Amino acid sequence: MKRPFSDRVAIIALLCFARLAVAAGAQDILLSEAWNRVQAGNPSIARAAIAVRAAQALLTQGQLPPNPELELATEEFGRGSLEVGITLPLEIAGQRRARVRTAQAGLKAARLEESATRLRLRAETLRRFATALALRDQLAAADTLQALLRSSVADMSRRVAAGAARDIDRVREQLELTALDVEAAGLRRRYDAACRSLASLWADSSDTCRRPAGSFVIGPKLPGQAELVKLAMSQPAVILAVNEVAAARAGLSAARADVLPAPALFGAWTRDPESGGSSTRVGASLPLPVLNWNQGAVRAARFGVAEAEWAAQQTRSDIEVQIDRLLAELANRSEQLDTGYSVLLPAQRRVLDDLSRHYEQGAVGVAELIAAQRVLHETTMELIESQAERVAHVADLLEITGVEPEVIKE
């Protein structure tokens, strides 16, 4: 007596997963290992770190005072008088302070951008890993059904040869197997591409031997909406928007400081070769802001501050909307997955088992059996894809709030 269909599927699935495991062997990669590779080899992280060092250099430069100016003058070189003078600019209107504030805002922005880059890459690593993991599971499901159909086609061919079945039934099963072969080939190509895409995050798109290992977690736990919004307000995206306000205010201070140009002190020593005497001269120069009070730049800087404040407010509002949308999407996906795995798949397996028994008894045709197999297969594939989509939503939430629940078990 033949085993029920669900038992045969389970046995074949175990064999398929064992085959994948043997093929992958030591080449499997866990999510944590993938992230370590991304941190070590991703060019965007290296570029962000360089930007921080560049901003630190600009801050150091901004803290320095202006250089003095040395002036040499002579009349009738070698015979006339010689004058040596030095001029020292004075920044008494807050120019250096404004320059330092601008550089400090730039340094803070560079550090925040580095943190934001790491957060974006962490989320992107999770997305690409989940995509590859889902394709691995879909490919295993397709291989399981392929093995089952090959066995069924071989059995049908023997029955047709013995006159116990119609050849049209064998043709139908062969057509279903051919369609599944095409589907599996496409999945295999997409799986290889997904593995290359994952490896490209650590700047090695040729590293196709690294295959994702792990399994999807059915019910990830998330904080509530209010807690997520609170966490999001402390993430780089929001702080960057606030820092843009600080940078705009520093620009306003610089524009106001430029209203009064820097005065300068000067001193000079003059030697007269004819008389053999020398003299000294000291003084100060003060540019007069009579025609240009820099008011256009000051007004533009004020508008820049207002624009940055509105942008920060819009950023906060957008983040709250995104969190609401993502939580709704996650709730929908969770409901779909819970219903699929607890209700749909068990019911479809029971239907297929019943049809298999009726088919063996000659009560139903092979077309009904193939249709039931196809429905079960499509439901399985859709649920696997839904798992990857749910992880993508979690990755979006991670990018906004920094919260990363366990969605992939290593």
Decide if 280 contacts 270 (C-beta within 8 A): yes
Nearest CA to 201 among 31, 388, 41, 29?
41
**H-type alpha helices, 205-342:** 225-232, 236-257, 295-339
pLDDT band at 311 (very low <50, low <70, confident <90, very high): very high
Decide if 204 contacts 42 (C-beta within 8 A): no
Cα gap 155→380, rounded to integer Å: 25
Cα gap 170→386, rounded to integer Å: 34
Cα gap 140→317, rounded to integer Å: 43
pLDDT value for 306: 96
Decide if 192 contacts 183 (C-beta within 8 A): no
pLDDT value for 135: 96
pLDDT value for 1: 39
Mean residue pLDDT across the chain: 86
Q: Which of 168-172, 304-308, 338-342, 384-388 has the lowest mean pLDDT?
A: 168-172
pLDDT value for 344: 95
Mean pLDDT computed over 319-335:
94
In the chain, domain spans: 30-409
pLDDT band at 341 (very low <50, low <70, confident <90, very high): very high
Cα gap 94→250, rounded to integer Å: 11
- pLDDT above 60: residue 151: yes
pLDDT value for 15: 44
- pLDDT above 50: residue 61: yes
pLDDT value for 205: 64
Q: Would you list the DSSP string of 356-383?
A: HHHHHTTSS-HHHHHHHHHHHHHHHHHH
Q: For the chain, how far is it from start to end, CA to CA, in angstroms?
A: 39
Q: Which run of H or of E encompasses 268?
A: strand 264-271
Cα gap 215→377, rounded to integer Å: 19
pLDDT value for 182: 94
pLDDT digits (tens, 9 = 90+) for 258-285: 777 777 887 887 877 777 777 888 888 7
Using DSSP's 3-state secondary structure scheme, residue 105 falls into helix
According to the 3-state scheme, what is the secondary structure of 161-217? HCCCCCHHHHHHHHHHHHHHHHHHHHHHHHHHHHHHHHHHCCCCCCCCCCEECCEEC
pLDDT value for 210: 76
pLDDT value for 167: 87
- pLDDT above 70: residue 7: no
pTM above 0.85, yes or no: no
Q: Which pair of tokens denotes residue 98?
A: 């404004």
Place of tokens 């989940």: 130
pLDDT digits (tens, 9 = 90+) for 211-228: 899 999 987 788 899 999
pLDDT value for 275: 72
pLDDT digits (tens, 9 = 90+) for 359-386: 888 788 888 888 899 999 999 999 999 9
pLDDT band at 342 (very low <50, low <70, confident <90, very high): very high
Using DSSP's 3-state secondary structure scheme, residue 85 falls into strand
Burial group, residue 326, by CB count within 10 angstroms (0-12, 13-18, 19+): buried
Percent of the chain scored above 90 by pLDDT?
Answer: 52
How far from chain centre, in Å, is Cα 203?
Answer: 15
Mean pLDDT computed over 69-73:
83
Mean pLDDT computed over 104-114:
93
Cα gap 133→389, rounded to integer Å: 12
Decide if 329 contacts 227 (C-beta within 8 A): no
pLDDT value for 25: 42
Nearest CA to 44 among 105, 102, 125?
125
Cα gap 223→47, rounded to integer Å: 33
Compute the C-alpha angle 226/230/232, nearest 5°: 115
pLDDT value for 206: 64
Strand 82-89, strand 211-212: pairing: unpaired
Could you name the CATH architecture of 30-409? Up-down Bundle (1.20)
pLDDT digits (tens, 9 = 90+) for 380-406: 999 999 999 999 999 999 999 999 899
Half-sphere exposure of 370 (CA within 13 A, CB side): 22
Cα gap 174→152, rounded to integer Å: 9
pLDDT digits (tens, 9 = 90+) for 188-214: 999 999 998 999 999 876 655 678 999
